[in-house]
Amino acid sequence: MKLFKHIVFITLLFNATGIVSQNKRVPTPPPIENPPPQAHFSWINDCSGDTICFYNQSILCPTYTWTVFIDTIGLFGFPHPKVLKKTVNDSVNCFHFNGVGTFSITLTCYDNHLDSLTQSIHIDSLMTLSFYYFNCRDVFINQSTCISSFYWDFGDGLTSNAVSPIHKYADTGYYHVTLIGYNGIKSDTLKRQIHIPSVGFVNPAFTYTVSHDTAFVHGIDSSPNNSFNWTWADGTYSTGEDTFHVYKDSTAAYNVTLFAINSVCGAASSSDSIKISHSIKTPAPKPPPDLDFSNSILTIVPNPVSTSGYIDAFFNAYTPDNYLTQVYNAIGQKMFEEYFSFDSGINEFKISTVNFSSGVYIMVMQAGNSYIRRKFYVINTP
């Protein structure tokens, strides 16, 4: 057995030692721009003689302008929009229409981008029922006229008496909605099937845990339509619902941001300050120049090693001592640490790989101010 050990060491005597790799900086992505706004509004009680209020339901729209106008006949018989009222940055815009007719309302949104929506409103004196479902806002847009009260059956066992109720469905699919409108002794009923392609906006909330220099994050909303982009406040980014990031700077707080994107409704974001709780461990110093490598060799067999086996390592100690043995993965996380007492000469020791995943690892042995390192590989086994 001793002859075999010496042969192994002579064969691997001139192998280069591995170096513990730190977390690599991923390429910096292009700057993430604010998602463009989505202009949207609705109204209720468009009955002749009433004051009609228009409600801003836009997305990502901090600055907006309302314009109310009617088409008139201008010079040479061409249609010409006549502005009846213009209001800047009011979330609700109310206007009194004196008679029946069709009018146009435009809402313009600004947020580093521009979006606008123009809708026609028909002012009448008859009782009518009309609605549609604004999926991303989970709200029923009521466009009924001359109705004093309402009853909604959402088709999922729930009901409401609100004018324009907010209702979030538990799942996607088709639902049969019934709206009943009342005005005095009169009533009318409208039944309509609606399709829910997505259960509203993605929730950008996330949870995290911190272990030394590593932040582990988890996006809460796991709908199949969602994707997740993380920015780590150190020039790097990641994707995925669950991921982690290793910070290599000194102890600090980092403002981590999650951009959660829904393929139907768009993007939402949230941020939180993550405090790295322990000082970042710097790479171990290089071996001192007086270390005699010819008498201090670390060999790992087999290499690669399977995830269901163990590392069989041989160390030729140049002095009897207690050696601190550590194993790091490719991003610098410590996977194993233990002291071994070695005599001068060849010493054999074993480390289980059951809790290791496939990848590159570095074994580091230290005694006093002297270090020696060796790279090895772990592969999955069926």
Here the CATH number for the domain that contains residue 294 is 2.60.40.1930
Mean pLDDT across the stretch 124-130? 80
Q: Is residue 349 part of a domain?
A: yes
Do 60 and 114 lie in a common domain? Answer: yes
Range of the domain at 373: 2-22+284-379
Q: Is residue 187 part of a domain?
A: no
- Domain boundary residue, one of 275, 292, 324: 275
Cα 310 from Cα 354, distance rounded (Å): 7
Do 62 and 94 lie in a common domain? Answer: yes
Residue 180 is predicted with a pLDDT of 94
Q: Is residue 250 part of a domain?
A: yes
Q: Is residue 13 part of a domain?
A: yes
Q: If you average pLDDT over every residue of the chain, what do you get? A: 75
Digit-coded pLDDT (tens) for 174-204: 999 999 999 878 889 999 999 887 666 677 7
- Domain boundary residue, one of 96, 125, 154: 125
Is residue 155 pLDDT above 90, yes or no? yes
Tokens at residue 174, please?
Answer: 């088709």
Following CA atoms 361, 217, 24, 329 in sequence, which dihedral angle do they give, to the nearest 10 degrees?
Answer: -10
Cα 245 from Cα 231, distance rounded (Å): 10
Residue 161 is predicted with a pLDDT of 92
Side by side, the strands of the sheet bearing 186-196 are: 159-160, 149-153, 173-183, 186-196
Is residue 286 pLDDT above 50, yes or no? no
Cα 108 from Cα 40, distance rounded (Å): 9
- Total domains, the chain: 3
The amino acid present at 250, given as its one-letter code, is: S
- In the chain, what is the greatest distance between 2 CA atoms, to the nearest angstrom? 109
Residue 201 is predicted with a pLDDT of 66
> 41-44 and 51-56: which strand pairing?
antiparallel
| Band of pLDDT at residue 81, cut at 50, 70 and 90 | low
**Which carries the bigger pLDDT value, residue 121 or residue 70?**
121
- What 3-state class would DSSP assign to 377? strand
Do 372 and 344 lie in a common domain? Answer: yes
Do 267 and 347 lie in a common domain? Answer: no
Following CA atoms 235, 240, 243, 246 in sequence, which dihedral angle do they give, to the nearest 10 degrees?
Answer: -20
Do 313 and 373 lie in a common domain? Answer: yes
Q: Is residue 150 part of a domain?
A: no
Mean pLDDT across the stretch 276-282? 53
Mean pLDDT across the stretch 137-142? 83
Task: Give the single-character DSSP code of 148.
Answer: S
Cα 136 from Cα 197, distance rounded (Å): 10
Is residue 4 pLDDT above 70, yes or no? no
Which positions ≥6 away from 278 have C-beta within 8 Å?
A: 212, 213, 251
Do 60 and 80 lie in a common domain? Answer: yes
| Band of pLDDT at residue 272, cut at 50, 70 and 90 | confident
For 174, other C-beta atoms within 10 Å of its C-beta total 9
Cα 359 from Cα 236, distance rounded (Å): 22
Do 289 and 314 lie in a common domain? Answer: yes
Q: Is residue 167 part of a domain?
A: no
Do 18 and 39 lie in a common domain? Answer: no
Do 319 and 267 lie in a common domain? Answer: no
**Which carries the bigger pLDDT value, residue 322 or residue 284?**
322
Cα 38 from Cα 248, distance rounded (Å): 39
Do 310 and 262 lie in a common domain? Answer: no
- Domain boundary residue, one of 84, 107, 125: 125
Q: Is residue 117 part of a domain?
A: yes
Do 229 and 312 lie in a common domain? Answer: no
Strand partners, 160: 152
* Contacts of range 125-128, beta carbons closer than 8 Å, 24 or more positions apart: 125/47, 125/48, 125/49, 125/100, 127/181, 127/183, 127/186, 127/188, 128/188
CATH of the domain at 269: 2.60.40.10
Cα dist from 352 to 3, 324, 359, 381, whole Å: 25, 17, 15, 14
Q: Is residue 137 part of a domain?
A: no
Digit-coded pLDDT (tens) for 95-111: 877 777 778 888 888 87
Do 54 and 121 lie in a common domain? Answer: yes
Q: Which of 92-101, 149-158, 178-187, 330-339 has the highest mean pLDDT?
A: 149-158
